[in-house]
Chains A and B, each alone.
Chain A
């Protein structure tokens, strides 16, 4: 029994991975074409950074980075390289894109991961609270605040956060990943990073916190009307037990779906957050790469973030299977 269930899950994962690989390849090709359609010759940009230029210099740069080849040759080479896990070389940063991404990825994962956790935990908690006191003032308060957060632009929230907590109150550092040159190690360093993380993670998580709390509330209220909950009530189970075992568990299903979708949004939102907070992650790297026409880096960021979304979706899928017994039985 256990074995077959496991086999089923494994098959599902394999099928999904195969599909994901196709999607990933399509993303690679489409992005490649899209990005190369952009006006702006990377050689000219690089030359521009040198502050002066002449034909010799431009030709040298083009040859060095293979920009003198026809587009389909460049595409072919790129796809071939990626299949060998080689994401190419960054024109501007003078290092392999893979290394560059690995340098920056931890910061983004930390930021998005914290934002995800914060929004999910606080959002669901607020939603449960509101649902259990539906119609009371605390419900009204939570719902109103959620509605406001939901309507607030992320960058605006971030700026106002900096203004209030860093400039006026001086509680939190306004930007950065850690105190540079502090020489902190171990716990001290972790605390330092956590302090820097607070504002970015909160402002990035704000929107989804609102989404989760609204969704949890609505979902809980809906499930509470279903027959099996009424039965449980009739059986005389305590309110807390019903809420936890019956309502919340079922109400979580749509939230799990949404959480999977959020992953992709977070990476995009990271562009804004990382810019405002000078967070050294891949979101900022992407925006810089775009303005510098550093194609390989840009493609690499898309590749990695798409891969992240796929992994998140896969995890969502698995969790879904655990939370919802019906899917597992299928």
Chain B
């Protein structure tokens, strides 16, 4: 652990990313304390420009809602969607990859066909259709993002499991008569966890991007303030009120940046030999 931290720290980017993310998470968590009430409340006249006083440091939007409050509450939604949809993708991708990699042969063939199927359908288009069908809500959005982003996880896990499967200690475990689930869960997966963590941190980032893209097309959850929604709503007034699309855009860029920096440092720290996978 100490060793890990030492290596992580060696990468300046990782530290910057961690600090950034910590700040963003803190603001998101403290939103109800910083901005009591709800972010939809119309608190002032519309289109108050930013930096014109302490009351609304980032200005107000088209109907007079506090942009700063929106950003704080929006962070909760963006982070939550990013996190949960990544978990969903892992929950699908890891079993599929593990089974395919462990058993090989026909099962591998079948599961890889399914994976291929999901990689052949344009993922963003599929996400749009799923959200439209189940009606835009935080659940359908999370689900859609999870469904379109698991294939890379499956491929990664399959590759790891395949190579681990050949190791001597696994052969030994099989000879000892350990059950297959036990081998997969206790012997193989723990050893494949590093690349999965790295990939997951990057997936949270792309999930946040995906959520904002859906919101931009009007497919966000209408009851929740999220950054993607804020840009989608601000896009029509981009020339009267540049700040409405700028600030949430910057928030997304910073968050995604932080997650990427962390992901890279994790990669350097956890599996230097795999740094090639970094993209």
Show the binding face of A for B, using Cβ within 8 Å.
Answer: 19, 22-24, 26-27, 30-31, 34-35, 37-39, 147-148, 150-156, 159-160, 163, 167, 211, 214-215, 218-219, 222, 254, 258, 261, 264-265, 267-269, 271-272, 275, 283, 286-287, 290-291, 298, 301-302, 305-306, 309-310, 313
Separation of A326 and B278 alpha carbons in the complex (Å): 23
Q: List 28 A-B contacts (CB under 8 A).
A: A19-B116, A24-B120, A27-B121, A35-B129, A35-B133, A37-B133, A38-B129, A38-B132, A39-B133, A151-B209, A151-B254, A152-B249, A153-B252, A159-B235, A159-B238, A214-B278, A218-B278, A258-B279, A264-B121, A264-B122, A264-B123, A267-B122, A272-B124, A272-B217, A290-B132, A306-B121, A309-B122, A310-B120
Separation of A244 and B278 alpha carbons in the complex (Å): 22
- A23 pairs with B117, CB closer than 8 A: yes
Cβ of B216 < 8 Å from any Cβ of A?
yes
Chain B residues closer than 8 Å to A34, beta-carbon distance: 129-130, 133
- Shortest C-beta distance, A120 to chain B (Å), equals 14
- B276 pairs with A268, CB closer than 8 A: no
User: Which B residues, 190 to 230, have Cβ-Cβ distances below 8 Å to chain A?
Assistant: 205, 209, 212-213, 216-217, 228
Contact of A271 among B116, B125, B275 (CB under 8 A): B125
Cβ of B189 < 8 Å from any Cβ of A?
no
Cβ of B113 < 8 Å from any Cβ of A?
yes
Interface of B is mostly: helix
Separation of A254 and B124 alpha carbons in the complex (Å): 23
User: Which B residues, 224 to 262, have Cβ-Cβ distances below 8 Å to chain A?
Assistant: 228, 231, 235, 238-239, 242, 245, 249, 252-254, 256-257, 260-261
Contact of B119 among A38, A167, A261 (CB under 8 A): A261
Contact of B231 among A151, A156, A163 (CB under 8 A): A156
User: Which B residues, 7 to 32, have Cβ-Cβ distances below 8 Å to chain A?
Assistant: none
Q: Do A156 and B116 contact each other (CB < 8 Å), given the known contacts A34-B129, A254-B276?
A: no
Chain B residues closer than 8 Å to A150, beta-carbon distance: 256, 260
Cβ of B128 < 8 Å from any Cβ of A?
yes
With A152-B249, A159-B238, A211-B279 known, 7 other A-B pairs at CB within 8 A are: A23-B117, A154-B209, A159-B235, A214-B278, A268-B126, A290-B129, A309-B119
- B120 pairs with A309, CB closer than 8 A: yes
- A148 pairs with B217, CB closer than 8 A: no
- A286 pairs with B125, CB closer than 8 A: yes
B: interface residue count bin:
35 or more
- Shortest C-beta distance, B225 to chain A (Å), equals 17
Chain B residues closer than 8 Å to A215, beta-carbon distance: 278-279
Chain B residues closer than 8 Å to A154, beta-carbon distance: 209, 213
Separation of A31 and B130 alpha carbons in the complex (Å): 10
- Shortest C-beta distance, A107 to chain B (Å), equals 16
- Shortest C-beta distance, A98 to chain B (Å), equals 19
Separation of A147 and B265 alpha carbons in the complex (Å): 14
CB nearest neighbor in A for B124:
A268
- A305 pairs with B128, CB closer than 8 A: no
Chain A residues closer than 8 Å to B238, beta-carbon distance: 159, 163
Interface centre among A26, A151, A163, A313 (most CB of B within 10 A): A151
Pair count A-B, CB < 8 A: 137
Separation of A275 and B126 alpha carbons in the complex (Å): 17
Q: Do A268 and B113 contact each other (CB < 8 Å), given the known contacts A27-B120, A214-B278, A261-B119?
A: no
Chain B residues closer than 8 Å to A254, beta-carbon distance: 276
Q: Do A218 and B275 contact each other (CB < 8 Å), given the known contacts A27-B121, A267-B122?
A: yes
- B125 pairs with A151, CB closer than 8 A: no
Chain A residues closer than 8 Å to B122, beta-carbon distance: 264-265, 267-268, 302, 305-306, 309
Chain B residues closer than 8 Å to A19, beta-carbon distance: 113, 116
**Per-position 1/0 for B83-120, Cβ under 8 A of A:** 00000000000000000000000000000010011011
Chain B residues closer than 8 Å to A151, beta-carbon distance: 205, 209, 252-254, 256-257, 260
Chain B residues closer than 8 Å to A31, beta-carbon distance: 121, 129
- A153 pairs with B231, CB closer than 8 A: yes
- B213 pairs with A155, CB closer than 8 A: yes
Chain A residues closer than 8 Å to B124, beta-carbon distance: 265, 268-269, 271-272
- Shortest C-beta distance, A318 to chain B (Å), equals 18
Q: Do A271 and B217 contact each other (CB < 8 Å), given the known contacts A147-B260, A153-B231?
A: yes
Separation of A251 and B45 alpha carbons in the complex (Å): 57
Separation of A40 and B87 alpha carbons in the complex (Å): 31
- Shortest C-beta distance, B173 to chain A (Å), equals 31
Chain B residues closer than 8 Å to A269, beta-carbon distance: 124
Chain B residues closer than 8 Å to A159, beta-carbon distance: 235, 238, 245
- Shortest C-beta distance, B161 to chain A (Å), equals 19
**Per-position 1/0 for B118-160, Cβ under 8 A of A:** 0111111111111011010000000000000000000000000
Chain B residues closer than 8 Å to A301, beta-carbon distance: 125
Chain B residues closer than 8 Å to A156, beta-carbon distance: 212, 231, 245, 249, 252
- B253 pairs with A152, CB closer than 8 A: yes
- B239 pairs with A167, CB closer than 8 A: yes
CB nearest neighbor in B for A214:
B279
- B128 pairs with A271, CB closer than 8 A: yes
- B117 pairs with A27, CB closer than 8 A: yes
